[in-house]
Amino acid sequence: MSDQYLNLPISPADTAFGLMAEYDADPHPNKVSLIAGAYRNEDGRPWVLPSVQEAKARLTPNQHHEYLDIAGSPGLIKLAQSLTFSSEIATALDKSIASIQTVSGTGANHMAAHFLAQHLRPSRVFIPSPTWINHKTIWATTGISIEEYPYYDPTTRAVNITGMLSALETANPHDVVILQACAHNPTGIDLSQTQWRRVAAVMKRKNLFAMFDSAYQGFATGDVDGDAWAVRYFVKQLILDGEPDHPGLCVAQSFSKNFGLYGERVGALHLVVPRHLSAEGARSELIARARAEYSNPPHFGASIVETVLGDEGLRAQWLRDLETMSVRIKEMRQELRKRLEDNGTPGDWSHIESQIGMFSYTGLDREQVARLKEEFHIYLLPSGRASICGLNEGNIEYVARAVGLVVGLGHD
């Protein structure tokens, strides 16, 4: 019994990271990676945002490597709160909000899951079907029962709002509902404002805890306020105009995508309780957890985000950088759709253009995805999720033709 750990079975590799390793090892000259949730520029390379580059240049001469506070940089946390909630709402929430810097969005999700499992004690956590793969993995470590709610309807290629609302009607008070704030991963399909309002009404009436995962603010549309609409609407409904016995909500915020700081691990967790309550106790508990898990969050990336958001000129440059990324992605969507249609590829490809954010749920099945890899060295996730960032002028026609061939073009 005691030496079982010496002979543990090998866990399956993470699908996305496993595929990336296969891609790296593939010597084919025309290989294309549509795997990673990381932006690539028109040359297919990682892009250091000009705002980030400038912040680094300003920081480097004076940058020390001391520990941050356990809760992270107070300056960054304030800026992160305003970015998420707007400064008016953040001020209105005052002591009802507990925020700490986290090890990026994943760390924020993990911290929230364990905190809520212990203190809110939901009977279930509701996660979208499908969703970012790590939601299930993280919540599985808490022991809380996981329930998938219908999110995507493959026949209509739209949100299954009826199924989603019916599932939420079965929830018990204080159950946790994971909601992606914008640019839903993996489908690229978000709720409309009318649909968000319906979800908020059910969650308010049933006293459910909304846990927003915000990994793409500004990246989705280029508009940081527009991408935060749902979060701010829920705060107004459930907290500012909410009932005193409402359990509250939280936001797991990532700066990986919107700052291109994937490896620096910058993020924050914001826990909001009803306005008449103080979140000070919750904050002290989050700090105690952080101390036990990693002591202090990473410093360098946090300094970059703080420098950019705290400086008017750099912030304006950052907004332009977001525009650059979101516009390039939109152009690649239009171009892929156009080429698929111009090539006479069977099927309706309008969804490639109408979906938003980094990913497209292409509708390709597992067999077609496998053929793309085996025959054409084009890599995407088995679910048919393609990262649109991997497309550029140099490979888009090759990809469009290959997709045409695997969906049956020229075979009938």
Ligand X SMILES: Cc1ncc(COP(=O)(O)O)c(C=O)c1O
Q: Under the criterion CB under 6 A, does residue 222 sit at the interface with ligand X?
A: no
Q: Under the criterion CB under 6 A, does residue 180 sit at the interface with ligand X?
A: yes
Tell me: cis bond preceding 122? Omega within 30 of 0 counts.
no
Q: Under the criterion CB under 6 A, does residue 101 sit at the interface with ligand X?
A: no
CA distance 295 to 36: 29
Which string of x and - marks every residue 257-296 that binds ligand X (by CB under 6 A)?
A: -----x----x-----------------------------
The answer to whether 177 and 213 are in contact (CB under 8 A) is no
Window contacting ligand X (CB under 6 A); options: 100-108, 269-277, 303-311, 332-340: 100-108
Work out how close the CB of 213 gets to ligand X at its nearest, in angstroms, rounded to a whole number. 5
CB closer to ligand X, 212 vs 376: 212
Single out the residue of 54, 175, 190, 213 in contact with ligand X (rule: CB under 6 A). 213
CB closer to ligand X, 184 vs 333: 184
Window contacting ligand X (CB under 6 A); options: 88-96, 120-128, 254-262, 401-409: 254-262
Set 213, 227, 321, 349: catalytic member: 213
For residue 209, give the H/E element and its range: strand 209-214
Which string of x and - marks every residue 106-125 that binds ligand X (by CB under 6 A)?
A: x-------------------
Q: Is 227 a catalytic residue?
A: no
Q: Under the criterion CB under 6 A, does residue 132 sit at the interface with ligand X?
A: yes
CA distance 301 to 41: 21
Work out how close the CB of 253 gets to ligand X at its nearest, in angstroms, rounded to a whole number. 8
CA distance 85 to 251: 10
Q: Is 338 a catalytic residue?
A: no
Set 139, 190, 204, 257: catalytic member: 257
Q: Under the criterion CB under 6 A, does residue 104 sit at the interface with ligand X?
A: yes
Q: Is 213 a catalytic residue?
A: yes
Work out how close the CB of 220 gets to ligand X at its nearest, in angstroms, rounded to a whole number. 11
Count of C-beta atoms within a 10 Å radius of residue 410: 9
**Which residues, 6+ apart, have CB-to-CB distance to 364 below 8 Å?**
372, 380, 384, 403, 406, 407
By CB neighbour count within 10 A (0-12 exposed, 13-18 middle, 19+ buried), where does 323 fall? middle
Length of the chain equals 412
* Cβ-closest position to ligand X: 105
Window contacting ligand X (CB under 6 A); options: 18-26, 98-106, 137-145, 382-390: 98-106
CA proximity to 210, closest of 136, 293, 316, 120? 120
Single out the residue of 32, 37, 203, 329 in contact with ligand X (rule: CB under 6 A). 37
CA distances (Å), 261 to each of 2, 215, 304, 346, in order? 42, 12, 9, 39
**Which residues, 6+ apart, have CB-to-CB distance to 276 below 8 Å?**
96, 244
Q: Under the criterion CB under 6 A, does residue 33 sit at the interface with ligand X?
A: no
The answer to whether 146 and 167 are in contact (CB under 8 A) is no
Q: Which residues contact ligand X (rule: CB under 6 A)?
A: 37, 104-106, 132, 180, 185, 213, 215, 254, 256, 262, 267
Q: Catalytic site residues?
A: 132, 213, 257
